[in-house]
Amino acid sequence: MPGATTTIYDLARATGLSPSTVSRALRGIGDISPATVARVRDSAARLRYRPNAVARSLALRASDSLALMLPDIANPFFPALVKAVQLRARHHGKTVLLCNTEGVPEAEAEYLDMLASCQIQGVVAMGLSITPDEIRRRRGAGMKIVALDRAAAGGSAASVQADHRAGGRMATDHLLGLGHRAIAHIAGPSGLSVATERWDGYRDKMGEAGIDPGAIAHGDFTEGSGHRAALELIRSGRHFTAIFCANDLMALGAISALRSAGLEVPAQISVVGFDDIELGRYAVPALTTIRQPLEELARVAVDLLVGLLRGDEAREPERLAVELVVRESTAPPPRPVAGQGAPLASSGIAPRGGEDVRSREDF
């Protein structure tokens, strides 16, 4: 029934305009032609549109609100970062509106239009995937955007992130220092800057050690993809005694896969993750990882955004130092038994209890 459920997005579809243009036309602000204003208001009357009271309330207190956009609230790395952002925003007297985009560009664009219509001009964004031109267009309309954890494409927004390449170097150097030479890598999604930088760090240290990069598999930063990638490494027949995983969730999935193949961590295979999520601290074995400085990332990002809203000049992109946290999932490589080949010299590994590793796709 029109009116009861009609939204500003319905009006946008009916008129062929953007939600932000529809909002400005309804409120009589902005440089919009009288013909467009009339078209929007005619559609609103025909569809019996009623302004959203929540949106109106948000608009009234927009100066006290920031938005936080993130791609995947289910990834345990992000809730910890959300909490840190909220605490820092509270320090500035700001509330935070949370927008979960699933990494979908269309959802990001809709959220940004909604925020603009509510006059919320400050956004901390994790993992923006809309085009640089779209980001610049919104900045040109007065929106202030700070990219957190993952830089915006083409340097189209101010950014604050950890030094992911240094973290990849640190993780690989730790394994090399233990005596590993056959080090595999489970990389993150292709084309994602943080995954590429962590992979680059791994290749840097392997090259400095005069060692060709080892076996490579790709995941999507989920536990299940790490499980599948580790099985892929096992089946490849490539020799390895350690795996550097591009995030902790994939590392936990990899450890499960190694166990399903009858391999002990770290007695036979060492595993390093990246992020230092809480789950990794309580895993068995506890996960060696690269810690991102969550509180500092949040502090710098929110302070930068508040400064931009006050008229400060944008600063150069910031990269914050990471830290190696050594726990129980790494150890020196096993010594070959006299008369036998090195561990994982071939893919002919008998899983514990005769289990078929190919069936372990249960994540």
Query: 188-200 pLDDT, tens per residue?
Result: 998 889 999 999 9
At residue 313, the pLDDT reads 83
- For residues 111 and 76, membership in a common domain is answered with yes
For 111, the token pair is 């959220």
Beta bridge partners of 184: 243
* 104 pLDDT more than 50: yes
Domain boundary among the residues 161, 185, 205 is at 161
Domain boundary among the residues 136, 161, 186 is at 161
Check whether residue 143 and residue 172 sit in a common domain: no
Same domain (yes/no): 136, 261: no
On the question of pLDDT at 344 being above 70, the answer is: no
Look at residue 302 and tell me if it is in a domain: no
pLDDT digits (tens, 9 = 90+) for 275-305: 999 999 999 999 999 999 999 999 999 999 9
Same-domain pairing of 192 and 92 = no
Are 274 and 201 within one domain?
yes
Number of domains in the chain: 2
Q: Is 55 a domain residue?
A: yes
31 and 142 together in one domain: yes
Judge if the upstream peptide bond of residue 334 is cis by omega within 30 degrees of 0: no
CB 203 within 8 A of CB 218: no
Alpha helices in 223-354 (DSSP H): 223-236, 248-260, 278-281, 294-309
pLDDT, mean of residues 256-285: 96
Nearest one of 255, 260, 259 to 273, comparing CA atoms: 255
Residue range of the domain that includes 168: 164-292+325-359
Q: Is the pLDDT of residue 124 over 90?
A: yes
Same domain? 263 vs 157: no
Tell me: do 148 and 171 sit in the same domain.
no
List the one residue out of 142, 212, 203, 217 whose CA is nearest residue 171. Answer: 203
> Is 188 in the same domain as 334?
yes
Give the residue-averaged pLDDT of 153-179.
93
The pTM assigned to this predicted structure is: 0.77
The pLDDT-based confidence of 337 (bands split at 50, 70, 90) is low
Per-residue pLDDT, 128: 83
Domain boundary residue, one of 161, 185, 210: 161
Q: What is the distance between the alpha carbons of residues 356 and 165, in angstroms, rounded to a whole number?
A: 36
The predicted structure's pLDDT at residue 105: 87
Amino acid identity of 84? A
CB neighbourhood size of 187 (10 A): 21
**One domain for residues 151 and 85:** yes
Q: Is the per-residue pLDDT at 31 higher than 90?
A: no
Q: For 208, phi and psi rounded to 5 degrees? A: -65, -30
- How many distinct helices (H) and strands (E) make up the chain? 13, 12
Does residue 267 have a pLDDT over 90?
yes
Residue with the larger pLDDT of the pair 179 and 46: 179
Nearest to 330 by CA among 197, 146, 171: 171
**pLDDT at residue 361 in the model:** 36
Cβ atoms of 118 and 27 within 8 Å: the answer is no
Structure tokens at 182: 């056959």
Residue 239, judged by CB atoms within 10 A of its CB (0-12, 13-18, 19+), counts as middle
